[in-house]
Amino acid sequence: MDRFHIVGGSSLRGVVSVSGSKNAALPILFSSLLGGGMEVGNVPSLRDIRTAFSLLSQLGIRAQPLFQEEKGEVSEGPWTFSDTGNWPGKFFLSEENTTAHEAPYDLVRTMRASILCLGPLLARRRRARVSLPGGCLIGARPVDMHLNAFSRMGARISIDHGYIDANTDGLVGCDIHLPYPTVTGTENILMAATLAKGTTRIFNAAQEPEISDLAVCLNGRGARIEGIGTSSLKITGVDSLLPSSYGVMADRIEAGTFMVAGALLGDPLTVQNIDVTCLSSLLGTLRAMGADFEETPGSVTLARIRKPCGASVRTEPYPGFPTDMQAQILPLMSIAKGSSTVVETVFENRFTHVMEMNRMGANIDVHGSRAFVHGMSSLEGASVMASDLRASAGLVLAALIANGESEIQRVYHIDRGYERIERKLEKLGARIKRVRGEDVP
Ligand code: UD1
């Protein structure tokens, strides 16, 4: 298992360009199961994306890499998915086998978002057998809302030996009222409804920008989705989708992570290739903590906050403060003047990083879903363990401001969702090195 060796204290100066969004790319890639063929660009080179391609391959989707040549022409190259140094970023996905329908436990356990194949498989192939994702470190994470919606649309669903077994004679649109605006639940239903008979309306839909990205991509292929970006989506089913080309949006969580890095150590740091409007709640918090930044339509420039002050944050569905950013804001709160509070409302157990940050000298008390951060801590380098994707990003930021050396173990978590983060940070002036270990199965 690889680890990061970080020497804290260096300023971060320059420009960092944000990669394509993991959470937008995943549903868009799984939407290839709806048929029609599609070209997808700005696909980030990440562990989760490779898992998605493995699963899609088992489900009969051929992913052909497209390399941009100097003259602007696109051609196929001799390439495999393990070739990380030469990632094309663009793929043509087409159906080769339309009878495969099983998503095995081995793949689903490494990436919960594999559940996103369920809706498209049911809609197009009328049959799906998908391993139940099970719980994970940040909470139970059931998929009951996905399953209830598919039942209402006419799927017969049973749970058998840890697998969701579902089939249908054809999905039929209906009104779905979600008890909670689940992100992948909304995406799964949206994809299924695209090819269902009649009209589906999703009420209390999640409004995350990644859902809008998926919906715009689907409409470009002939789907009929209205209400994009709102909590009420109306989908009029169509018989089939058409071939099309789409570029995945930029990753707002990667952008947010670099923005916090800028607030901690920027001298100054420009985060570019982003949609600033997706980040307003984080920018509001950074402003409240004392950040001064310059915005353009595609970038934000921040300098280190000289005297950060404490803030209160409550994680919520979009457009609220993202749960995927709470681990990263904690190091800033730890060195701020006064105290701060984080209330986690999305996942029940998302403070596993706090113990590790406290080992680095932070002073954070967790009571249930609340973390109380006593500021003015001076962080010290330590050997710490990453426990999940965003927790690892929080630990990297803590190590960057700590005195002395830190070692972050199990960085395979961060490789799931950040494209070459150590190279991007190193280019900005951070002292960070990847120490190679054995591969994670
Ligand atoms: C997605 C994101 C993840 C982000 C999360 C919240 C992807 C691939 N992942 O995860 O990065 O942290 O949104 O913004 O896009 N729930 C149920 N039953 C369900 C579905 C969800 O009880 O059927 C609960 C979950 O346990 C959780 C809450 O609803 O407590 C939110 O989950 P959800 O929005 O579904 O998150 P994900 O889609 O898994």
pLDDT digits (tens, 9 = 90+) for 339-348: 999 999 999 8
Q: Poorest-confidence range of 114-118, 136-140, 246-250, 259-263?
A: 136-140
Residue of the nearest CA to atom 34 in ligand 1? 182
**Which tokens in the block code for residue 321?**
């403060």
Residues 6+ apart with CB under 8 A from 106: none
CA–CA distance, 215 with 213 (Å, rounded to integer):
5
For residue 320 and ligand 1, the question of a CB distance below 6 A is answered with no
Q: Residue 70 — very low, low, confident or very high, per pLDDT cuts 50/70/90?
A: very low
Average pLDDT over residues 397-425: 95
Residues 139, 88: one domain?
yes
Residue of the nearest CA to atom 11 in ligand 1? 324
Backbone angles phi, psi at 375, to 5 degrees: -75, -170
CA–CA distance, 246 with 165 (Å, rounded to integer):
32
Residues 87, 203: one domain?
yes
Of 247, 266, 296, which residue constitutes the final position of a domain? Answer: 247
Residue of the nearest CA to atom 4 in ligand 1? 324
Domain that holds residue 265: 3-18+250-435
Asked whether residue 441 is assigned to any structural domain, the reply reads no
Q: Is the pLDDT of residue 78 over 70?
A: no
Assess whether 136 carries a catalytic annotation.
yes
**Which tokens in the block code for residue 97?**
């086998």
pLDDT digits (tens, 9 = 90+) for 398-410: 999 999 999 999 9
Count Cβ atoms within 10 A of the Cβ of residue 103 and give its class: 0-12 exposed, 13-18 middle, 19 or more buried.
buried
Domain total in the chain: 2
Q: Are strands 431-435 and 232-236 parallel, antiparallel or unpaired?
A: unpaired
Q: Residue 136 — very low, low, confident or very high, per pLDDT cuts 50/70/90?
A: low
Residues 279, 326: one domain?
yes
Place of tokens 């080309």: 245
**Which tokens in the block code for residue 187?**
């995406």
Q: Is the pLDDT of residue 311 over 80?
A: yes
More confident: 13 or 436 = 13
Distance 198 CA to ligand 1 centre (A): 27
Whether the CB-CB separation of 128 and 118 falls below 8 Å is answered with: yes
Of 192, 227, 247, which residue constitutes the final position of a domain? Answer: 247
Residues 213, 87: one domain?
yes
- Please provide the average confidence, as pLDDT, over all residues in the chain: 94
User: To test the ligand 1 pocket, which listed residue (22, 46, 112, 141) has its Cβ within 8 A of the most ligand atoms?
Assistant: 141
Whether the CB-CB separation of 375 and 339 falls below 8 Å is answered with: yes
Helix 22-30 and helix 183-194: axis angle, to 10°? 30
CA–CA distance, 356 with 376 (Å, rounded to integer):
17
Distance 183 CA to ligand 1 centre (A): 5
Instruction: Pick the atom of ligand 1 nearest to 184's CA.
Output: 38
Distance 182 CA to ligand 1 centre (A): 5
Residues 324, 366: one domain?
yes
> Looking at residue 277, what is its pLDDT?
94
DSSP symbol at 316 = -
Asked whether residue 440 is assigned to any structural domain, the reply reads no
For residue 323 and ligand 1, the question of a CB distance below 6 A is answered with yes
Spatial strand order of the sheet with 61-65 comes to 61-65, 91-95, 38-41, 244-247
CA–CA distance, 10 with 289 (Å, rounded to integer):
21
Residues 257, 225: one domain?
no
- Per cent of the chain over pLDDT 90 is 86
More confident: 436 or 171 = 171
Residue of the nearest CA to atom 26 in ligand 1? 141
> Looking at residue 35, what is its pLDDT?
96
Distance 271 CA to ligand 1 centre (A): 27
Distance 141 CA to ligand 1 centre (A): 7
User: To test the ligand 1 pocket, which listed residue (21, 110, 146, 184) has its Cβ within 8 A of the most ligand atoms?
Assistant: 184
Residue of the nearest CA to atom 5 in ligand 1? 183
Residue of the nearest CA to atom 30 in ligand 1? 347
Residues 292, 329: one domain?
yes
Residues 217, 327: one domain?
no
First vs last Cα of the chain: how many Å apart? 10
For residue 51 and ligand 1, the question of a CB distance below 6 A is answered with no
Of 192, 215, 247, which residue constitutes the final position of a domain? Answer: 247
Grouping H, G, I as helix, E, B as strand and the rest as coil, residue 6 is strand
Residues 196, 262: one domain?
no
Residues 243, 254: one domain?
no
pTM: 0.95
Residues 6+ apart with CB under 8 A from 211: 27, 183, 186, 187, 190, 205
Instruction: Pick the atom of ligand 1 nearest to 317's CA.
Output: 14
> Looking at residue 377, what is its pLDDT?
84
Residues 228, 263: one domain?
no
**Which tokens in the block code for residue 280?**
């307003």
- Per cent of the chain over pLDDT 70 is 95
Whether the CB-CB separation of 335 and 379 falls below 8 Å is answered with: yes
Backbone angles phi, psi at 15, to 5 degrees: -120, 135
Q: Residue 440 — very low, low, confident or very high, per pLDDT cuts 50/70/90?
A: low
User: To test the ligand 1 pocket, which listed residue (180, 189, 388) has its Cβ within 8 A of the most ligand atoms?
Assistant: 180
CA–CA distance, 65 with 77 (Å, rounded to integer):
7
Distance 43 CA to ligand 1 centre (A): 22
Residues 281, 243: one domain?
no
Residues 6+ apart with CB under 8 A from 336: 289, 308, 309, 310, 311, 373, 375, 376
CA–CA distance, 326 with 318 (Å, rounded to integer):
14
What CATH number corresponds to the domain at position 13?
A: 3.65.10.10
For residue 183 and ligand 1, the question of a CB distance below 6 A is answered with yes
Asked whether residue 191 is assigned to any structural domain, the reply reads yes
CA–CA distance, 90 with 327 (Å, rounded to integer):
31
For residue 182 and ligand 1, the question of a CB distance below 6 A is answered with yes
